[in-house]
Amino acid sequence: MTSDSHRTDVAPTDAVALFSRHRLRTARELRRLTQTQLSEKVRTVTAASLSQFENGHSRPSAATLDRLALALEVPIAFFATPANAATPPDLDGFFRSLRSTPARDRNQARALVELVRGLTLALESVTALPDLNLPRHQVTVDTTEAEIEEIAAKVRHQWGLPPGPVADVIRCVERNGIVTTRVHTDLDKVDAFCVPYSDRPIIVLGADKGLRDRSRFDTAHELGHLVMHSPEDEGSKTAEKQAHRFAAAFLMPAEDIRHELPDKAQWPRLVELKARWQVSIAALLTRAKTLGVMAPNTYVQAYKFMSMRGWRRVEPGRLGAPESPVLLRAAVDLAAQAGHPLDAVVERAGLPLGDVKALLSSSDQRPRVMI
């Protein structure tokens, strides 16, 4: 990033008038800085002042905002309140391992989501993204597993999915208006998660596993949260179990897969089913037990065998590269064709261009063949 990359057509005084305390916090957390660390980097701003800015008790001057933009490597315009701020910015998101995830990691992950959301809103001003078609079926702690199976079937029906395996789970959710992205960061403890913005929900997938089956299940799991849960359910163990059941039912409908599942650990058969359904052997074994095809003790013995062979970490039958999000990349290309190049779209939105390009480049990490 160049030394003057923070400069845009937005005057510092205008950014002061439109100052968003939430955007300042987002920029700081994006760089994994505490208020004390940022104050040490800026030097002319104390940690106490930063706290006042982020709490909304005071506003930075134009000169201070310019220094903050330089230190955080964002445009001055990033600190202005977005034109579309209808959705409250304080949604936490459904983190799989919320209690064990360090706060700084969660904060950076949420900051990355804010970038995705900002880019999405900017692209929607020049392109028409797919309409949001998200079925909502609110559940409670008393919702039965059978009812969750029915909810998954209703979602498949509303989305017009044919019987059998879902061809591409990410493409499926994106066609129905849910933005999906992958992030390549050092956030080892942050697995897939989602943020249920009412106007355009976002699913974030990790990119360090490289497993197609796991990625598909992660996407379906987060879809389950968006379909069934409210922000009040964030961090709930029950909500996680319900989303897991939804994912299994969405990817492997009972009426379609029950007759294919073995009642014993027939490993060649399970590898074949893994390739057909694009799910892990572990998920197939669990589904067989859940549907009553495989006896509980047989299931336990199968899992013990997998552990003994090291298959719990690396299963046989690799499925190839994970599915890739395409919605935002396609919207960027379409906008450029219509005379709105990415640099201009990002500048108007006041987003950091380098970070946006990094997000877009993470859609497909396979080495590209050059001919």
pLDDT digits (tens, 9 = 90+) for 142-191: 999 999 999 999 999 999 999 999 999 999 999 999 999 987 655 555 67
Same domain for 164 and 61: no
Asked if pLDDT for residue 306 goes beyond 50, the answer is yes
Same domain for 35 and 156: no
Strand, helix or coil for residue 206: strand
The answer as to whether 228 is a domain residue is: yes
The pLDDT of residue 366 is: 46
Same domain for 93 and 66: no
Higher-pLDDT residue of 367 and 227 is 227
Same domain for 39 and 164: no
The pLDDT of residue 8 is: 45
140-152 burial, b at 16+ Cβ within 10 Å, e below that, comes to eeebeeeebbebb
Banded model confidence at residue 210, pLDDT cuts 50, 70, 90: confident
The pLDDT of residue 239 is: 93
Same domain for 50 and 35: yes
Same domain for 345 and 197: yes
The pLDDT of residue 1 is: 37
Higher-pLDDT residue of 359 and 249 is 249
Mean pLDDT throughout 194-223?
Answer: 88
The pLDDT of residue 131 is: 96
Higher-pLDDT residue of 97 and 289 is 289
Same domain for 6 and 121: no
The answer as to whether 8 is a domain residue is: yes
CA atoms within 13 A on the CB side of 208: 9
Same domain for 207 and 127: yes
Domain encompassing residue 3:
1-81
Asked if pLDDT for residue 368 goes beyond 50, the answer is no
What gap in Å lies between CA 28 and CA 31, rounded to an integer? 5
Same domain for 62 and 26: yes
Same domain for 92 and 77: no
Find residue 202's DSSP bridge partners.
Answer: 179, 195
Asked if pLDDT for residue 9 goes beyond 90, the answer is no
Mean pLDDT of the chain: 88
Mean pLDDT throughout 332-357?
Answer: 94
Asked if pLDDT for residue 365 goes beyond 50, the answer is no
The count of residues in the chain is: 371
The answer as to whether 77 is a domain residue is: yes
The answer as to whether 113 is a domain residue is: yes
**Could you tell me what percent of the chain has a pLDDT over 90?**
70
The answer as to whether 240 is a domain residue is: yes
Banded model confidence at residue 29, pLDDT cuts 50, 70, 90: very high
The structure's pTM equals 0.88
What gap in Å lies between CA 226 and CA 224, rounded to an integer? 5
Q: Which of 81, 106, 124 finishes a domain?
A: 81
Q: Which of 81, 110, 143 finishes a domain?
A: 81
The pLDDT of residue 109 is: 83
The answer as to whether 280 is a domain residue is: no
Higher-pLDDT residue of 80 and 226 is 226
The CATH number for 68's domain is 1.10.260.40
What is the H or E stretch that residue 202 is in?
A: strand 202-206
Banded model confidence at residue 361, pLDDT cuts 50, 70, 90: confident
Q: How many domains does the chain have?
A: 2
The pLDDT of residue 85 is: 55
Phi, psi of 340 (to 5 degrees): -125, 80
The pLDDT of residue 6 is: 40
How big is the CA angle at 329 (ends 324 and 330), to the nearest 5 degrees?
A: 105
Same domain for 159 and 25: no
Asked if pLDDT for residue 217 goes beyond 90, the answer is yes
**Could you tell me what percent of the chain has a pLDDT over 70?**
86
Asked if pLDDT for residue 364 goes beyond 80, the answer is no
Q: Which of 50, 65, 81 finishes a domain?
A: 81
The pLDDT of residue 35 is: 95
Same domain for 64 and 169: no
